[in-house]
Amino acid sequence: MARIFVVDDEPIIRIGLKTLIGEYKRFSEIDTFKDGVSALSNIMANPPDVVLTDIRMPRMDGLELCRNVQELKLFTKVVVLSGYGDFSYAQKCMSYGVQEYLLKPITEIELFPVLDKLLAMREAAVISFSLFEQWIDQLEEAVWMMDKVRADELLGEGLRGLFAVETDIQQHQRVYDAVRLLLKKLNARGAYRFEAKPLLEENTVITITYEWFQAEIGIWIQRLSEYRNHEKINVLEAAIQYIDEHLFEEELSLDMVAGKLGVTPTYFSHYFKKKTNETFVQYRMRKRMDKAKQLLAVPHYKIIDIVTEVGYESYPHFSRVFKKATGYSPTEYRGLLGIK
């Protein structure tokens, strides 16, 4: 569940808001603070999902708190509560990324729909970040495997989806985050040092565009290729060799092969299908059925022995797969060969 901070210098209002939010029943933690200073230190230590703050407070007022939260670039959403209906306050709040500006006194009729909206944004952001991480993992692998075609595909997908944000500033920040995360993952491999010089300079976030990022990926792949003397890692050759060597082991799986090759199952699945025009499961089944047909053509081989020989744990399972692949049961197939 989500967490919320309530910031107000009046004890009665803090208690009232905490009780009201408690009735909303969608926050696991509701913490209260009497001023912006104490709230900000806690926000920095453990950012909440939502901050509900008053404007007029001692030590640090609500506007200053909003400005600080914005500068921290957190996912925290801020709602300002004020007894002042001054439009200039609302304008200033919105310039600091505040989501809503509500006037006191407030009831569940005004507050709950706002909280619904903010929590929906939070859930969307969590999903978006999860997809972002998956995309970075796939892009990292494409770079490491020097797969320029796959990298270009992923960069195209990213531009259409993950980086289709509202403003240029938001896109620049997301690109900046992508470059830093991708560099971290690639350099964690330890075999080659990737660098992006603009990241080492000050005040360069807004100059890093998606087009620059696309070009930089091409440069990284080229430099890695030069470092390896232009010798590509032949994933397909290594994969087929490993699969063929372990084809008749029951536990042979896509995850196992990907792990042996040092790539993720997602990347390996995509790569294998693209290069062979069949999935890993289809390839494994075809090869096993080819072997089964060879053994069924040998009269003295018992079918029950062939089952385990080609990597299946039970006759019913083997029989179903064989009939799906050939149109015949193992016994019927032998009959076609004239073997009783």
**158-191: pLDDT as tens digits:** 888 777 655 566 677 778 888 888 888 888 766 6
- Note the pLDDT of residue 279: 92
Just give the CATH number of 2-106.
3.40.50.2300
- Residue ranges, comma separated, of all CATH 3.40.50.2300 domains in the chain are 2-106
Could you give the residue range(s) of every CATH 1.10.10.60 domain in the chain? 235-336
- Predicted local confidence at residue 168, as pLDDT: 65
- Specify the 3-state DSSP secondary structure of 203: coil
* Cβ proximity of 322 and 329 under 8 Å: yes
CATH code assigned to 235-336: 1.10.10.60
- Nearest 5°: the CA angle 112, 118, 122 is 140
236-290 pLDDT per residue, tens: 777 888 888 888 888 888 988 887 777 778 878 888 888 889 999 999 999 999 9
pLDDT at 5 over 90: yes
**Minimum mean pLDDT among 40-44, 89-93, 96-100: which range?**
89-93
**Residue 86 — pLDDT band, cuts 50, 70, 90?**
low
Q: What is the dihedral of CA 15, 20, 26, 29, to 10 degrees?
A: 0
Cis omega before residue 105 (within 30°)? yes
The answer, yes or no, to whether residue 205 has pLDDT greater than 90, is: no
Buried b (16+ CB within 10 A) or exposed e, 11-49: eebbeebbebbeeeeebeebbbbbbbbebbeebeeeebb
Spatial separation of the C-alpha atoms in residues 59 and 221, rounded to whole Å: 52
